[in-house]
Structure 1
Amino acid sequence: MKEAYVTTCELENPHYKIEALRVYVYDNKFLIAENSILFLLDIPLFPYPVYFLNLTEDEFSPFSFSLAWDEDGGFITHQEYNLYVNDYLLSTKITTENKETIPQFSIYKKDDKNIKFSIDYEKNYIYLDLKNLKYNSNWVTNKTFFHVGYSPFYFEEYLNNGSYYKKFGLNFDLYSKGKMDINFYWDGNKSRINNSFSIINVKKDLSLAEFNIQNLSFNNSLEKSTFFTDDSTWTLYQSGNYSFSFKNKSFSTKFYGKVYNDTFSSNIRHTFSYPLSFENELVKVYAKYGFGANLYNAIVDKYYFNLGLYDIYELSGKLKFKVFDIEAKYELRENFRDESTNTEYNKLSSIVYVNTPNLNFSLKQGWDFLNERRLDDEISSKFSFIVLNGKIELESKATYDNEEKKLSPYDVSLSYVNKPFSLIYRLNTKYYVGEQQPIKELTHIFTFQKLKGKVVQSIEENYVKSAYINGTFSINNYKNTLELSYGRTSKEATPEVYCKYSLKNQENSLDLSYKTSTKMLTLGFNLKTIDPGISFYTTYDIKNERFNNLKATLSKSLHHWVFELSSEFEFNHDQVFNFDDVKKLSVLFYIKEFDDKFLGWDFKENSPNIGLF
């Protein structure tokens, strides 16, 4: 096309346009205008030898240029050059400000937009991320990280001022179920050879039964206080654990050891359990045998050898009826060798369950053969019913000391769950039977959508002790964000409060924050969907009863243009309002589609504010 113009303004006489002698559309992606001039209200303002316009959102324009004016930095220019090579984007950005040129060069992966290489002179940073090589460095803070790997080999180095470490080794992936790593580590003060191996959740169906490895890991570390070639003594650290099951048998072992000079120590803990069960409609029988071993072996000032062994037996039977169940349970633990006797037990208990659609009740009683005494009775109940599309549950638990003839306080919990409304509420308390004030404190815990909270309330002294609420919830397309913390050490103490709240709908927002430590209240709102748009923010000093600052903006749409009047005040509290209280007072005209194209004037600084393409 010849002698054409480009604009997004649909008026017959557009407010702005770029006129060009020649206009090309390249590959349906870019519009290129040669020998063009930007017109605002038919006034020629800025020439473009070549003007690029991206017609798609998938790719960046090959070239863009912007010019602005700032009172402190003077004229500011931004240049950006983009080039696509196969699946990569090569991007160069150059900013000139205060007679200083700041370049930035980056390489992106086209499909995921992840940076693969970047040099940023504003952040003093270089970054490289390749399949087998990672490198990043800040030449001001002298912090550098380097990692290179070609499976299974790798080398890693980290520098931070005077400290550093180097590590090289081998890393193996074991069929996505585990890994093994062997490496040598050196940081200038000590050298270390590490070896680690781990496997999780491996299942294998054998002809006899299923074999399942829940966890299997070993770690070895051989360390010297200096470099490994000198005569200093090695210290060996070993640790590991495994747990697996086979034919309903469960095995688990944990161990830790250390060898240093002429001393060593090791700890090994092993457990084994073998459960058996049978169940039908009337009866359920369960039995379990368990074995454990704790071994401590060491040479320090002398030789230590402690071997603790124990057996665990458990047998239970339950008779199941329509409304209630009866269960008898016997539990025994016998310790041998060096195992401490305070973990032994020998007890028989009976449990009665009452189960209805709305009520569950249980009473547990028993006898301690080891101490020849009755066990504490355990009483629990749960009452539940449906109301308002939600489920209400009332639970209570208590114990009765048969020796002291005393009932413990009831642990009481009242909960309400309404899944359609995304609401979960729970009230926890203790009920002291026979006391003048049976309820002393309440704890409220709730979740509403993504809002979570906890409130602790003293009933005995009639005040809120603490509260913490954080999260978001939405009502009728209004998004609410609330962060609240409240603390009070006593009823007479002054509470410490921090509150931050925001309400958003489309581009409109309301913000409020308050903190007792500063006695500052911040209030503001931003209304963009009305015309004229209004933005207002202020900070009020509650202690001194005065405003510290105020920001207000009025924006009026003029077709594709926006007229914006901005003001910002910082009051010096000299009892006189004058131009010294004004921090900023300006007017601005800009195009809606391109808010970085603007013309304006700052009355405070008495200077222009210009940004053009």
Structure 2
Amino acid sequence: MYTLYKYVIKETLLPFLIGLGGFVVFVSVELLYQLSDTIVRYRVGFDKLLLLLYYQLPYFLVMGIPVGALFSIFWVISRLSADNEIVAIQVHGINLKRLVIPFLIVSLVLSGLAYVLNDYLVPTANRKFFEAQYKYIYRKNPESFSELVRTNTFFKVRENQYFYIEEFEKSSNTFKDVLIYELGSKVTVTHAKRAKKEGNVWILEDGRVYTVDSNGLLSFDASFKRMNLDISQEIEEFVRSSKSSKEMTSRELKRRIENFKKLHVETAALEVEYQSKFATSLAPLIIVILGVPISLVFNIRTKSWSVILTFILVVLYQGSDAWISALGKEKYLPPSLAPWIPNLIFGLCGFTMFVLLDTKLLLVTRDRILAVFKRKNLLFIALLLIGAGTLLQGEIIRITAEEAVAHGETLVAEGNITVKYSDLTVHASAATITSEIATFSGNVRILSPDINETTGETLVVNDERATITNARFAEGDLLLISPLMTITFSQEANNRSYEVIESDRESTVVQEDRSYRVARFVYERHLGMLTAWEVKGKEKVKNKKGQMKWVNVVGPKIQIEIDDDLSTSTIYSGYITTCDLEEPHYRFEARRVVILPSKVLVSEDMFLDLLGVVVLYYPIYFLDVSGGKQPVEFSASFGSNDGFGFIVRNNFELFGGEGTVVYSYKEKGEEAGKKTYIEYTYPFNDYTSLKFRFDAPSKLGISYGTKLWGFSLGLGYNSESTEAGKKSSLGLTLKQKVGKREIVVTSSENIREDGAKVLIPINMTLKKYPLSQPPWSFQISNLGFKISSFANPGEFAFQKLGSGSLEFTMSGSYGLNSGEKVKNSGSLGLSLIRRDESLTSSLFLDHLASFDILNASAKNFMGSTTQKINLSVAGGISTSRNAERCGFKLSYSWNWEVPTKILSVGVGYTLQESNGRNIGAFKSFNADLNSISAGLTLKALPIAVVSLEKIGYDFKTHTWSNLELSTSSKWQFGSLALKLTSKTPIYIADGSALKKTSWQITTTLKTRRVSLNNTSAFAVDYLSGTPIESVNNKFSLRIGKLWYLDSFKFSGTYILDLSHGFEISKLDSKLEFVFFGIKHTFKKLRFYQDRWILDYFTTFHGWSTGISGTFYESGAIGGGKLTLGFPLHCWNGRLYTEFSKKSGGITEGWDVGKVSLTFYIKDFPEKFFSFSVNPWGFNAGIF
């Protein structure tokens, strides 16, 4: 219920703002109209005008809140009714009275808002409005002072002194019936019939002065003909500065009422204004109590009626409020009660309707009210400049037009016509309406609540039917287009609706998944059935790849069951095909074809007509066109190797699961014989399923899979009966894999044919599993734990667990960082295996501790220097049945580097000693060292960077290390870049130094159309007769559009052989280019000494060609394959052949292998015929 309330409140907000905004705009325009003369006369600026509107905005908002609330009620409930959501609410057992609750919630909020605005913001804004009028209009125009004078209002002149004016005569600037009250220990009252200004003095005429003491006794009484008014400030000032009742808050009004009652002054107007502060604030609540029942009782379905009823009720409510408040001010009604009377009346009416909602009494009353509008004669209600209303054959017609003229009982209207009657709305350019018939012309549009739209050029309509020329009828996704369409009406209650739409002209029927041209049609809308004759069109279905494709449908008759969710079409004695020729190459003819777009296609008595010849017959054909599995799949083959064979697959759905029954037969070959099996999968949810498979006659498999605590859980059972006996297995698997981390736990029992049992209650494997807690880090590379037992026939495997086998293995790496300078790491391995009462174990540990003694850098005159000193200690131990290993290693290293922009120098020393037994098993133990090394890099040469790799001397072996000279150069010439590197050994222990240099040249070229990258690597042997034997190259070339070449991509590697000239000895590349719009692709373009290996493919205008194989220089061909694809209108063909050739002439030594020819439907390639020879055979996949 909370969801319903939230939904209704959300839907209420937008129409409330629309209603409130519309009202504010309307009254703002009305205010501008009232002020227009004053604004023009006194030349008030536009900014000042906006300021006046701004000060009136709070008052407009208070008055507009009930309007917005009422409009939102009618708007929301009409939309709910039009969209049948009211019916849906009732279907779910929700009483319509509950709809008032969300509106009551909104009204209480709005009432609170209205009170705050009305009692705090409106009085201040009204005062600002009055002061702005005085400041920008009347102060600059003293002659207009009379515009400011307020009558029937008390003005405070000074402390305890009040001034009252009954009437003001603008022509003579004279006050009439003036009262002046002075409060104190005694009350003095001055009354004058007139007061006017002479010069700078105000004169009272024909008056009386009397004083009343604290006991209420008259202590002074005097009359006068003329008396000067003793007031220290100008009357204009205190008149301007005094507040009217609309400029006071409720507290100020209450205080003034109390004061005036002490003076025995009439306070009816003030009391009415005081009570109005509260009565007006409750207007949204009263509106909800009245508006919701009215909207539900009269079933308002259109937004236009929402606007009309809002206008009527607002006029009645606010008009009665103003009228009754005026009666209260004149004391015809009690002043304190008068502002509440409209709320009581309208609230009582609404509450009564709410209580009687859904009762028979209220329904009878509603029907009698509505019956007033069902007269069977023609009456012209009104004819206005912008609209006219009339009754046409029992329907109330409301006409809006630019021009309308009545001639007797004929109404002629022109220009932007809108006609509304019943639930229909007609828009046209011209109309002629009589008591019998109405004719509309010029861009006719007919709108109905339950129909999208009907359009045409001319409309002729009476009580029973309508005829439209060049008509377009739209309802949901159904579109009917006809040069002449007839609509027959049905009328229930006071609603006119379409019953039958028909046409006997050639028309078009369109839905989302179908389109037809028909000779004629009849759409029985009340039955949801469209029947058409002489049909030719298209239906949309899916192929096996899930692609939506159109199939052509032709037949003498079709029936379409119109449904909002899925429409079903039935074709009688027709055919379907993807060929769009007048006489298609193929077609599937059937006595009856039923198509549910994107769902299924069912055909009865269907046969395949191929080029006018019937080749296959199928009594019932069921096709799933949703892209999923077909209910029945059949394929057959016949060949020399396997003989005759076929496969029948029946796919089904049962209890929410999916299953398959497969029957196959093969005459010859390894899989000869009959096979039958059934599979079924039942999904409990997205991650839990039960699978079943039975292979006849005696093989069964059941598996269950789900997710549990982040693991994949699998439970399986398999059994099979053989000649040797029955074997079975039962297993449980838990598996979790996150990134590289993997955990697998299995438990299983296997029973062999002889009854022996193998039980593995637990077999656990962990891989890449981290266990880290700073500063420690540990990762299990591999952990295995397995327990198993064996039991003879008749024994229980669980009883043998104690004497069974147990295996535990673990390997991993660990680390411990004790600070920035101390690091510990190593690897650990454990193994424990028990088999046949024997126990073996092993331990492996390899540990390395590293200490950074010095790591410092400093800047000096040479640039910067870096020194590093490191001490490492390693230890290892390994125990196993084969051998024990242990060892200890100590290493010390020192490095000193001076990197500068010109010259870099580095010197290092390493000392490493190790001792132990079989220490080669430990990775952290390297060979013993006691060596010094040095290196030099020179960066200041103009064309190259020259480096001498580190040369070292080993004090243990008394040998020098090899020394190598390397260079690196770069050049940039516009878009061309070159890079040259070399390495030359200048000292080698065996004496082969300065004999060979290795070079690498990288060339890069980038322009707008060309991109080239080539890397060549070669070695120069200075002592050889052929200094350069070969050059290894890696290249990539791309060319953009250039004349008729659209694109060109060539990449790969090649070896250039220079030992016997200048030739390519090896090429391994890929080539792709588009020339004259035709794409050519060489997936393989290779050359090896005496042979080429090609794999080429191209397509153009529906044709395709492919050739692959190995082509020898001798003329021989090995593994050749040739493919030719060709279009046949709605079919595609494919010729495939395998060939080879021995050495010899062009026409000699050819050997042709397998040759096949396949034809398949272009849009549905799973439907095919295939013929082959060598070996010969036939295969079909039509069904």
TM-score where L is the length of structure 1: 0.64
CA pair 479-444 structure 1, distance change in 2 beyond 3 A: same
What amino acid sits opposite 1:397 in the alignment?
K
CA apart distance, 1:502: 0.9
Corresponding residue number in structure 2 for 1:549: 1151
What amino acid sits opposite 1:416 in the alignment?
T
CA pair 54-512 structure 1, distance change in 2 beyond 3 A: same
Deviations 1:342-373 (A, max 9, x none): 62223142423417897332124656372677
What amino acid sits opposite 1:384 in the alignment?
K
CA apart distance, 1:510: 1.5
CA pair 363-64 structure 1, distance change in 2 beyond 3 A: closer
Deviations 1:130-156 (A, max 9, x none): 45146889999x999975214674225
Corresponding residue number in structure 2 for 1:500: 1093
Corresponding residue number in structure 1 for 2:948: 363
1:527 aligns with 2:1124: yes
Superposition pairs for residues 381-396 of structure 1, below 5 Å?
381-386=967-972, 392-396=978-982
Unaligned residue ranges in structure 2 (runs of 5+): 1-569, 707-713, 736-743, 792-799, 920-924, 1037-1048
CA distance in 2, matches of 1:368, 1:609: 77
Match of 2:874 among 278, 282, 293: 293
Match of 1:314 among 894, 898, 910: 894
Corresponding residue number in structure 2 for 1:175: none
Q: Percent identity?
A: 14
Count of matched residue pairs: 533
CA apart distance, 1:509: 0.6
Unaligned residue ranges in structure 1 (runs of 5+): 172-180, 182-195, 487-494, 554-563, 567-587
CA distance in 2, matches of 1:273, 1:318: 25
CA distance in 2, matches of 1:251, 1:551: 67
Q: Is the 8 A contact 1:269 1:292 kept in 2?
A: no
Superposition pairs for residues 515-594 of structure 1, below 5 Å?
520-529=1117-1126, 537-542=1138-1143, 546-550=1148-1152
Deviations 1:540-592 (A, max 9, x none): 11179942423697xxxxxxxxxx9x7xxxxxxxxxxxxxxxxxxxxx98766
Q: Is the 8 A contact 2:964 2:987 kept in 1?
A: no
Corresponding residue number in structure 1 for 2:676: 103
Corresponding residue number in structure 2 for 1:155: 747
CA distance in 1, matches of 2:789, 2:590: 74
Corresponding residue number in structure 2 for 1:49: 619
CA distance in 2, matches of 1:413, 1:139: 70
Superposition pairs for residues 174-323 of structure 1, below 5 Å?
181=765, 198-200=768-770, 213=777, 215-217=779-781, 239-243=811-815, 245=817, 247-248=819-820, 249-255=822-828, 268-275=845-852, 277=855, 282-283=863-864, 285-296=866-877, 306-321=886-901
Q: Is the 8 A contact 2:586 2:611 kept in 1?
A: yes
Deviations 1:161-206 (A, max 9, x none): 99998755364xxxxxxxxx3xxxxxxxxxxxxxx6744596x8x7
CA distance in 2, matches of 1:170, 1:225: 12
CA apart distance, 1:160: 12
Deviations 1:502-548 (A, max 9, x none): 10124321122247999654545333247898666532111799424
Match of 1:326 among 899, 904, 908: 904
Deviations 1:97-148 (A, max 9, x none): 4495433545589999x99776778xx99796845146889999x9999752
CA pair 240-402 structure 1, distance change in 2 beyond 3 A: closer
Instruction: Compare the two structures and name the one with the higher helix fraction.
Output: 2
CA distance in 2, matches of 1:422, 1:168: 64
CA distance in 1, matches of 2:1171, 2:915: 90
CA pair 268-480 structure 1, distance change in 2 beyond 3 A: same
1:10 aligns with 2:580: yes
CA apart distance, 1:18: 3.0
CA distance in 2, matches of 1:305, 1:524: 60
CA distance in 1, matches of 2:1066, 2:728: 44
What amino acid sits opposite 2:932 in the alignment?
K
What amino acid sits opposite 1:327 in the alignment?
V
Q: Is the 8 A contact 2:748 2:759 kept in 1?
A: yes
- Cα RMSD between the aligned structures? 5.9
Q: Is the 8 A contact 2:971 2:978 kept in 1?
A: yes
Q: Secondary structure at the match of 2:814?
A: strand
Q: Secondary structure at the match of 2:650?
A: strand
Corresponding residue number in structure 2 for 1:432: 1021
Q: Secondary structure at the match of 2:939?
A: strand
**Between 544-553 and 288-297, the greater mean CA deviation after superposition:** 544-553
What amino acid sits opposite 1:273 in the alignment?
S
TM-score where L is the length of structure 2: 0.37
**Between 278-287 and 359-368, the greater mean CA deviation after superposition:** 278-287
CA distance in 1, matches of 2:652, 2:910: 76
Q: Is the 8 A contact 1:67 1:76 kept in 2?
A: yes
Corresponding residue number in structure 2 for 1:169: 762
**Between 158-167 and 236-245, the greater mean CA deviation after superposition:** 158-167
CA distance in 2, matches of 1:125, 1:419: 66
Q: Secondary structure at the match of 1:528?
A: strand
Instruction: Compare the two structures and name the one with the higher strand fraction.
Output: 1
Corresponding residue number in structure 2 for 1:21: 591
> Which structure has the greater CA radius of gyration?
2
CA apart distance, 1:81: 2.1
Corresponding residue number in structure 2 for 1:510: 1107
CA distance in 2, matches of 1:612, 1:218: 53
Corresponding residue number in structure 2 for 1:478: 1080
Corresponding residue number in structure 1 for 2:661: 92
CA distance in 2, matches of 1:169, 1:500: 53
Deviations 1:275-327 (A, max 9, x none): 565568942525241313243566989x9775322122222222322xx2323
**Between 47-56 and 261-270, the greater mean CA deviation after superposition:** 261-270
Q: Is the 8 A contact 2:1153 2:1174 kept in 1?
A: no
CA pair 391-290 structure 1, distance change in 2 beyond 3 A: farther
CA apart distance, 1:76: 4.9
CA distance in 1, matches of 2:1174, 2:826: 77
Q: Is the 8 A contact 2:904 2:937 kept in 1?
A: yes
Q: Is the 8 A contact 1:199 1:215 kept in 2?
A: yes
Deviations 1:393-422 (A, max 9, x none): 322223333988863444513143759889
Q: Is the 8 A contact 2:771 2:780 kept in 1?
A: no
CA pair 222-63 structure 1, distance change in 2 beyond 3 A: closer
CA pair 149-520 structure 1, distance change in 2 beyond 3 A: same
Q: Is the 8 A contact 2:636 2:1179 kept in 1?
A: no
Corresponding residue number in structure 2 for 1:380: 966
